[in-house]
Amino acid sequence: MYRHAVLCFCLAVSVLFPCSESCQLSPIYALVPKQLPAGYIISEGTVQLNLQGCGLRPVAFTSSDPDFAVNTDGTIITLRGVVITTKLFAVHVKDESGFDWRVDVILTCKDKATQKSGNVVHRRLKRRWRPLPFDIVENENPPFPKDVKMIASDSSVNHTVYYKISGQGVTTDPVGLFTLDRDTGMLRVTRAVDREQYPRFDFKAQVFDIRTHVETDAYLPITVNVEDKNDNAPQFVGMRVFTVQEHCNAGTIIGRVNATDRDQATTPHTLIRFTLLNATDMFSIDRFTGVLTARSNNLDREAQENVFVGIEIKDMGGAEGGLSNVGTAVVTLTDINDNPPTFKEKLYKGQVMENQQNVLVLRIPVEDKDMINTPNWKALYEVTKGNRSGNYRMETDPKTNEGLLYVIKPFDREKTPVVKLEVTARNEAPLVRTSDTWQSVPVELTVEDEDEGPEFSPTILYLNVKENLPNGTVIGTYKALDPESKNSNGIKYYKLSDPGNWITVVESTGELKVANTIDRESPLVTNDRYNISIKAVDETKKTGNGMVILQIEDVNDNKPVINNTEPIMCNRGDALSSVLVEAVDKDQSPYSTPFIFKLGEKHDGKWKLKDASSSSVVLEQAVNMPNGLYTVPLLVKDLQGLGEEQTVNVRVCSCEREVNGVGECGARSASSSLGSWGILALVLSGLLLLLLCLLLIFFCNTKSEKVALNDDAGSGGMLLKSNTEAPGEEVKDRAFLTLSDGLDGLDNGVDRDIKNVGLVDGRLGQKFFQDEGVYNSTTRDFGTVKYTLPGNHNGSLYANNTYQKYGNVNTLDTWRSNKNYLDRKLTYLGEEEDGRYADDVLKTYGNEGMGSPAGSVGCCSNLGEHETMDFLNTLGPKFRPLADICYTTTNTKI
């Protein structure tokens, strides 16, 4: 039964997947022994494995069973010993296009004894359910439902059963696709199925006893494979727009046309074949890969820039009955520079006026078939003949691509009436894939006549003259000619420039005469040359310019002159000093150096000359001289003996410095300057004195019992008044402060706890604490009543060597305390006899009105100013020494 099922499956495959009438890949059947040794040949290269009739060539074979192998010629052999009854496996054949073909191989055993029914029953009973997985074909035609297969369980032999199915296609999407006859087990499909949507269904079947509804067998997993049907035509995928250079080589890959098919992969249903419908002389396409290539190397963009290529795609490898589709690919040919610019005319002519320059004289058009506004089209022009003097310039009009010919130097028609040139046009990009070359064209320019002004000949006239010539001396004649008449008739001459006004020009003849002294040494002369500009004017008022350059010859008209007539000579004590004296002469050789130096006739004999050179001499002391100013007569003459006696004022001094033989006198009074070492000594002394002061302060303020204070607020201490300059040892041994939690006499509602700590001068001293502050107070007797004096709000608390800022005793509390004290004092004074306290007693005066501009003049008028507590915020470190002593004494008693 199993073998027949396999045979049916293979036949179904061969029927459902026909390639064409000539490409039928039927299964390979082989009758073999039950026991196969290794290396046993199952079949030699068959027509199926060699794809005969398919028009394809196999390139690789693969066996689905590891016990078998396929040689490169299609021969199937065993790799190891195998024992079989019936064997089914597949051989996959890959063709030259990369497509995979499947060929089923069915092996049947020659020994019939192995096919006994007992064995078959044993195998069927072992699996309990029958049959094998089911197959349906997609998109079957009505009517529905259609029977698929019958399922049965061996438990039906002993039980009366019914069947039930559930799962995909039954109870889940797509619900109701499959139904089952509960009594017979017939599986049916109710409608057509699209394999591209549901390629496979997996559900299960169950069998129950009809009476007890208990399963009589384990459930059966059922797989229904949807067999593919060639119901989808291939479709193009992606863009079909390509570019390639024109005149590319044949075989150049242009691009790839992509297509896909929704049918089952690796089957003939998805084997797509590509075919060109047109432009087959220009392009070719691979029939299975879709790669588009150039077929010719004569693709010309100028003939056709965009080529529309029709392409057919067909499945089943292009066989009849296959589904197809048609599309269009666009191939754009890109430009290369295969066309040089060409001239429209064989000769171009133009005109230019003489004496004109930097003017456009001709436009030369060209044609170019290449793409506009690209380097292949843009032209570059050059005058290749007739431009040795650089009279022309070529440019390109960026809009029209025309050549523009400019004349940059003027022409003289009398010399050159006609000019012949040759212009060559090129592209910015070089020529490729063409035998053409750059083209040239002749150009003829006619120079038109113009009435010109007179012309000097030569344009620049050089005249050699000596300086200091007498005025009126004629040094030359400079004339101009009319270009047309070639004579000087009617021409007049004028000066344009003469910086020193040395020359006059005779208007009618052009003679040049000396007007002022010509001086070669003048700053107007450069390299012995002096320039004069002359203008010539004809009868028609046309002008022409020329230049006269005077080459001035030197004469001996300058004497040598000493540069520095007040040199400084450094006093070297007992050694004789010297100084260099230099002279200059504006004349040239042989009227200048070498100079002759001599001492004047009236020199005093204290000087001598030595080491004379061409322009200098060393003046040296003949005797030792003190500091002072000395006058030395010195005679200096040039090579021709022209010279005079000059005076040199030599200053002898003690030089502060001397650089390259040139001295610089020092200060006249040595006591007026300390010098750098003196200044340094003063600075160091000041620094040492400052350091000493800092050390003294440090030692004077340091004690072994010193309390660490943190003066972060810069205030808080109070200087107590005392009749002694400092507390003695007896004061330190006694406590004179008392502590309390409040201020005596302040009406603030805070409980106060007064503790007597000790006595000060026989009186009770008390200290009050309020929050974090300290209020010190003492008592004083007034008669029989004791009054509390205002205490010192020192704003600090000494405890554990820590200084804390006090901020709770404010100005209002202070004034309340002062008021209480004054009220009691005035009451006491009023009770005593008259005159005892003089003016301190409160008097009663008459009302003088609204008040006085001077304010109150009583004894208590300035109470507010004297009793203010603001000074507590500014005591700072002045209070620290006294606080240190007080704290030390108090701390030892506590």
Residue 384 CA to residue 34 CA, distance in Å, equals 96
| Co-location of 734 and 771 in the same domain | yes
Measured from the Cβ of residue 832, the count of other Cβ atoms closer than 10 Å reads 12
Residue 18: pLDDT over 70: no
Strand ranges of the sheet holding 306-314, from the earlier edge strand across to the other edge: 241-245, 324-334, 306-314, 273-276
Residue 662: pLDDT over 60: yes
Confidence class for position 8, pLDDT limits 50, 70, 90: very low
Percent with pLDDT over 70 in the chain: 71
Question: Is 709 among the domain residues?
Answer: no
| Co-location of 99 and 145 in the same domain | no
The parent domain of residue 389 ranges over: 342-448
Residue 735: pLDDT over 50: no
If DSSP codes are grouped into helix, strand and coil, which group holds residue 126?
helix
**185's tokens:** 């087990």
Q: With CA atoms as reference, report the closest residue to 321 among 25, 21, 99.
A: 21
Beta bridge partners of 206: 164
Contact 339, 302 (CB under 8 A): yes
| Co-location of 329 and 369 in the same domain | no
The pLDDT assigned to 784 comes to 40
| Co-location of 770 and 886 in the same domain | yes
| Co-location of 24 and 118 in the same domain | yes
Average pLDDT over residues 102-121: 60
| Co-location of 6 and 100 in the same domain | yes
| Co-location of 15 and 117 in the same domain | yes
Higher pLDDT, residue 411 or 172: 172
Q: With CA atoms as reference, report the closest residue to 27 among 92, 104, 81.
A: 104
Average pLDDT over residues 368-389: 93
Contact 352, 443 (CB under 8 A): no
Model pLDDT for residues 792-834, shown as the tens digit of each residue: 444 333 333 333 333 344 555 566 767 777 777 666 665 544 5
Residue 126: pLDDT over 70: no
Cα dihedral 50, 56, 61, 65, rounded to 10, equals: -80
Higher pLDDT, residue 44 or 244: 244
Provide the H-helix boundaries in 1-147. 2-16, 117-127
Confidence class for position 755, pLDDT limits 50, 70, 90: very low
Average pLDDT over residues 13-24: 44
Write the Ramachandran bin of 872: left for phi over 0, alpha for psi from -120 to 50, otherwise beta: alpha
The pLDDT assigned to 218 comes to 87
Higher pLDDT, residue 241 or 122: 241
Contact 96, 286 (CB under 8 A): no
Residue 748: pLDDT over 70: no
Percent with pLDDT over 90 in the chain: 32
Question: Is 847 among the domain residues?
Answer: no
- The last residue of one of the domains, among 448, 463, 493, is 448
Residue 527 CA to residue 520 CA, distance in Å, equals 9
- The last residue of one of the domains, among 399, 428, 448, is 448
Beta bridge partners of 404: 363, 395
* Cβ-Cβ contacts under 8 Å for 747 (sequence gap 6 or more): 816
| Co-location of 140 and 254 in the same domain | no
Model pLDDT for residues 845-873, shown as the tens digit of each residue: 555 555 555 444 544 444 444 455 555 55
Model pLDDT for residues 337-354, shown as the tens digit of each residue: 999 999 999 999 999 988
Question: Is 842 among the domain residues?
Answer: no
Where do we find the tokens 């003027």?
410
| Co-location of 572 and 639 in the same domain | yes
Contact 817, 776 (CB under 8 A): no
Confidence class for position 397, pLDDT limits 50, 70, 90: very high
Q: In a 10 Å sphere around its CB, with 0-12 CB exposed, 13-18 middle and 19+ buried, how is residue 443 labelled?
A: buried
Model pLDDT for residues 285-319, shown as the tens digit of each residue: 999 999 999 999 999 999 999 999 999 999 988 88
pLDDT-wise least confident of 1-15, 346-360, 629-643: 1-15
Question: What CATH number did the domain enclosing 239 receive?
Answer: 2.60.40.60
Residue 673: pLDDT over 80: no
Query: Own/partner pairs for 188-193, CB < 8 Å, 24+ apart?
Result: 188/145, 188/146, 188/147, 188/148, 189/136, 189/140, 189/144, 189/145, 189/146, 189/148, 190/144, 190/145, 191/144, 192/138, 192/139, 192/140, 192/141, 192/142, 192/144, 193/136, 193/138, 193/139, 193/140, 193/226
Angle 847-852-856 (CA atoms, 0-180°, nearest 5)?
A: 85
The pLDDT assigned to 778 comes to 41
Question: Is 687 among the domain residues?
Answer: no
Residue 604: pLDDT over 80: yes
**DSSP 8-state secondary structure symbol assigned to residue 317:** G
Question: Is 711 among the domain residues?
Answer: no
Model pLDDT for residues 546-563, shown as the tens digit of each residue: 999 998 888 888 889 998
Q: In total, how many domains does the chain have?
A: 7
Residue 809 CA to residue 750 CA, distance in Å, equals 12
Measured from the Cβ of residue 759, the count of other Cβ atoms closer than 10 Å reads 13
Measured from the Cβ of residue 791, the count of other Cβ atoms closer than 10 Å reads 23
Q: With CA atoms as reference, report the closest residue to 339 among 430, 226, 221, 208.
A: 430
Backbone angles phi, psi at 430, to 5 degrees: -75, 160
Residue 513 CA to residue 23 CA, distance in Å, equals 120
If DSSP codes are grouped into helix, strand and coil, which group holds residue 382?
strand
Model pLDDT for residues 25-57, shown as the tens digit of each residue: 778 888 888 888 888 888 887 777 777 767 678
Question: Is 348 among the domain residues?
Answer: yes
Residue 505 CA to residue 151 CA, distance in Å, equals 139
Contact 330, 357 (CB under 8 A): no
Cα dihedral 697, 698, 700, 703, rounded to 10, equals: 160
The pLDDT assigned to 83 comes to 86
Confidence class for position 887, pLDDT limits 50, 70, 90: low
Beta bridge partners of 578: 620
Question: Is 688 among the domain residues?
Answer: no
| Co-location of 207 and 240 in the same domain | no
- Cis, bond preceding 18 (omega within 30 deg of 0): no
Confidence class for position 786, pLDDT limits 50, 70, 90: very low
Residue 634 CA to residue 582 CA, distance in Å, equals 11
Q: Is-above-0.85 flag for pTM?
A: no
Average pLDDT over residues 479-492: 83
The pLDDT assigned to 332 comes to 95
Q: With CA atoms as reference, report the closest residue to 455 among 358, 542, 548.
A: 542
- Give the Å distances, CA to CA, from 93 to 53, 270, 496: 14, 16, 105
Higher pLDDT, residue 720 or 569: 569
How many CA atoms does the CB half-sphere of 162 hold within 13 Å? Answer: 9
Residue 307 CA to residue 241 CA, distance in Å, equals 10
Angle 329-334-338 (CA atoms, 0-180°, nearest 5)?
A: 140
- Give the Å distances, CA to CA, from 252 to 273, 283, 295: 21, 10, 8
Average pLDDT over residues 513-539: 90
Calculate the CA 184 to chain-centre distance: 83
| Co-location of 260 and 321 in the same domain | yes
The pLDDT assigned to 24 comes to 58
The pLDDT assigned to 58 comes to 84
- Cis, bond preceding 458 (omega within 30 deg of 0): yes
Average pLDDT over residues 659-679: 59
Cα dihedral 797, 799, 805, 811, rounded to 10, equals: -10
| Co-location of 123 and 133 in the same domain | no
Model pLDDT for residues 442-461, shown as the tens digit of each residue: 999 998 877 677 888 888 99
- The last residue of one of the domains, among 196, 228, 260, is 228
Average pLDDT over residues 767-780: 40
Confidence class for position 677, pLDDT limits 50, 70, 90: low
Write the Ramachandran bin of 893: left for phi over 0, alpha for psi from -120 to 50, otherwise beta: alpha
The pLDDT assigned to 578 comes to 87
Higher pLDDT, residue 772 or 333: 333
The pLDDT assigned to 281 comes to 93
Question: Is 463 among the domain residues?
Answer: yes
Model pLDDT for residues 692-710, shown as the tens digit of each residue: 888 777 665 554 444 444 4
Amino acid (one-letter) located at 204: K
